Amino acid sequence: MSEQRMLEGKVAVVSGAGGGIGREIALAMALAGAKVVINDIGASLTGEGASATPAEQTRAIIRQRGGEAAISTESVAEWASAQRIVQATLDHFGRVDIVVNNAGILRDVIFHKMSPEDWLAVINVHLNGSFFLSRAAAPHFRAQEGGAYVHMTSTSGLIGNFGQANYAAAKLGITALSKSIALDMKRYNVRSNCIAPFAWSRMTSSIPAETPEQQARVAKIQQMTPEKNAPMAVFLASDAARNVTGQVFAVRHNEIFLMSSPRPIRGIHRGEGWTPELIAEHALPALQDALLPLDRSGEVFSWDPV
């Protein structure tokens, strides 16, 4: 099967497709034969303002390359507007086969200074938005007995990062949402997977670059251009991935990783039960060597992108 036409005859809706990773996924899906609905409200990185221009630019590129695309500027962060995104997809192209949950904003701030507004704004777009848009497409996937969800997660949630309690919580929540969708909709031949992308885009442009060490880190991230994530999204949306569901992949420049899910790593049993004192005296020493380090994404992915 040619990669160029892996999505022939399919219709995809890609949220946050006005720039960065979302745009590259939309472009790649169009090249692979899909008709694409470009969903983007054209807001700032923190979610303010709105403009159709980013989505129009993505559509123009697709059309220049001979593809078909339409635009939706509705927000994923509300139930009714997410329904309208899917309805617009049906109105334009008559069906929906692929949902890519990529839309996102950032409100990075250290936890003890994070406001309720910072928390809710990020949760609403990333986590609620992924549910709303996925749920809006679910009846159509069920009726046609087929469909594919591709959700964007992040190692900020899978592993950890400073100043991103809102973003990390949303992104780890998305992996649980995806697994639940995969379990609940397997009977309808519907698949759901996650990608943790590494890329230099508007979402990472806020990383500090003041000290030589920070500048070196940013230079490495800048090597990882957004289009490096698009092939995995096209694959997961295609029939070639018919047996792949409930998984989390990370894409880092030319590297692909299958990420683990939480599983028991060590256990201890006491027939007569436990008291807090016995836990301190016996359980903790037995488990101590297996306690997970308080690490961050950059410490786990500690080597240069290859």
HEC-encoded secondary structure of 152-215: ECCHHHHCCCCCCHHHHHHHHHHHHHHHHHHHHHHHHCEEEEEEEEECCCCCCCCCCCCCHHHH
> Which residues are part of the catalytic machinery?
167
CB atoms within 10 A of CB 87: 14
> Widest CA span of the chain, in angstroms?
72
pLDDT at residue 183, rounded to an integer: 98
| Residue 198, phi then psi, degrees to nearest 5 | -110, 125
Residue-wise pLDDT for 187-213, tens only, equals: 999 999 999 998 755 555 556 667 877
Place of tokens 């694959």: 235
> Per the structure block, which two tokens stand in for 287?
């488990």
Q: What does the pLDDT look like over 171-189, one tens digit per residue?
A: 999 999 999 999 999 999 9
**Domain segments of the chain as ranges:** 3-258
Give the pLDDT mean for 48-67: 92
Q: Give the β-pairing of 255-258 and 248-252.
A: antiparallel
pLDDT of residue 48: 78
Copy the structure tokens of residue 249.
């992949």
- For domain 3-258, which architecture applies? 3-Layer(aba) Sandwich (3.40)
Mean pLDDT rounded to a whole number for the chain: 93
Residue 47 zone, left/alpha/beta (φ > 0; ψ -120 to 50; rest): left
Supply the angle between the helices 53-64 and 20-31 in degrees, to the nearest 10: 30
* Best CA proximity match to 221, nearest among 243, 248, 203: 203
What is the bridge-based pairing of β-strands 69-72 and 35-39? Answer: parallel
Look up the pTM and report it.
0.92
Beta bridge partners of 69: 36
Confidence at residue 3, expressed as pLDDT on a 0 to 100 scale: 47
